[in-house]
Amino acid sequence: MREAVTLLRAGEVVALPTETVYGLGADAFNPEAVAKVFAAKERPSFDPLIVHIGSVTDLKSVAIVPDEISDTVNRLISEFWPGPLTLILPKHPDVPDLVTSGLPTVAVRQSAHPVFRAINKELGRPIAAPSANRFGRISPTSASAVSKELDGRIPLIVDAGACSEGLESTIISIEPREGKKPIFRLHRAGPITKEQLQAFGKVEKLKQVSADQPLAPGQLPSHYAPLTPLILLESPTDFKPEPGKKYGLLSYKGEDDSPYADIHDWEMIEALSPGSGKLAEAAIRLFFTMRLMDEAGLDCIVAEPLSETGLGVAIMDRLRRASVRE
């Protein structure tokens, strides 16, 4: 951890554990350090980064919270921070344009991971960190997954074991309404669910992105993708195998508890939450299992659908994005 702080101070990038996925961190106020994040990930500069703050009092150094939403922001922060909720707020002028890809807004969160928090506090500056994968690929939920993605491109990976959430943070922006609860625009579904947010505001989908708005690849359909093609089924009768191809089943509950287990002679069956089917466990294991199946030499990964309530929304979002081919 000390080495991580030293490297960050020197303008280097470091892979760090968070409760969601591993991030590739840099000093958010140092544009040259931030540029190294984009380079290591091969990330296009039009895709903005999330800024992580060490303490809530640092929020004012990266964002300017408008009066109309300050009560809501305070309530969200006291309920969900530190934790996997990212807020899109008007940007403070000190945040380099490279971090926000020239947008007038900045995405901010406070990580709950003890190792990340300790490094963030010791550094005493906000850390800009996207997920520590190459652009468009599966987010890493362990240090070994980071190493597979970025080995040789970065000086240090801080290994704190597996991530406890397994999916990237929920991202929202806030629209105030006169005399009513605000609207939360859901930019990315994640560990903090719609049901949890509803106590504080009305959760709605992101409005159609207009042609003149910069593209945000987290919102592009093809993302979080394995190299092996992935098909997301809607029902067991949906599957039309091609002869001679090797298919693996990415199942929710696994062999003994899946209506999809018997529809084909699968090369392999991997369960996200064997037997009982717990969404939290499925979320933790999703990217790990996608990686495992990607490395198994299959021609195609076939994923079962999950019901879209609670965490199921975020899991299905990632499966849909992984299943779209360019």
For residue 18, state whether it binds Mg ion (rule: CB under 5 A). Answer: no
Can you tell me which of 169, 193, 258, 273 binds ligand TXA, judged by CB under 6 A? 169
Nearest to 319 by CA among 189, 210, 204, 209: 189
Site string for ligand TXA, 244-283 (x = CB under 6 A): ----------------------------------------
Distance CA 319, CA 326 (A): 15
Position closest to Mg ion via CB? 131
CB under 6 A: which stretch of 168-176, 202-210, 257-265, 283-291 binds ligand TXA?
A: 168-176
- What residues between 10 and 69 interact with ligand TXA by CB under 6 A? 18, 20-21, 23, 47-50
Q: Which partner, ligand TXA, Mg ion, none, binds residue 105 by CB below 5 to 8 Å per kind?
A: ligand TXA
Report which residue's Cβ sits closest to ligand TXA: 218
Q: Which is nearer to Mg ion, 249 or 315 (CB)?
A: 315
Task: Please tell me whether 258 is known to bind a ligand.
Answer: no
- Paired with 180 in beta bridges are 177
Please tell me whether 307 is known to bind a ligand: no
Applying the rule CB under 5 A, the residues between 129 and 158 that interact with Mg ion are: 131
Q: Is 55 annotated as a binding residue?
A: no
Stretch that binds ligand TXA, among 3-11, 102-110, 203-211, 240-248 (CB under 6 A): 102-110
Q: Tell me the closest approach of the beta carbon of residue 223 to Mg ion, in angstroms.
A: 7
**What is the C-alpha separation between 178 and 69, in angstroms, rounded?**
11
Angle at 288 between CA 282 and CA 290, to 5 degrees: 90
Instruction: Give me the 189-228 binding string for ligand TXA, x by CB under 6 A, dash otherwise.
Output: ---------------------------x-x----------
188 is in an annotated binding site: yes
Contact set with Mg ion (CB under 5 A): 131
Binding-site positions for L-threonine read 20, 52, 109, 129, 169
Contact set with ligand TXA (CB under 6 A): 18, 20-21, 23, 47-50, 84, 86, 88, 100, 103, 105-107, 129-131, 168-169, 171, 187, 216, 218
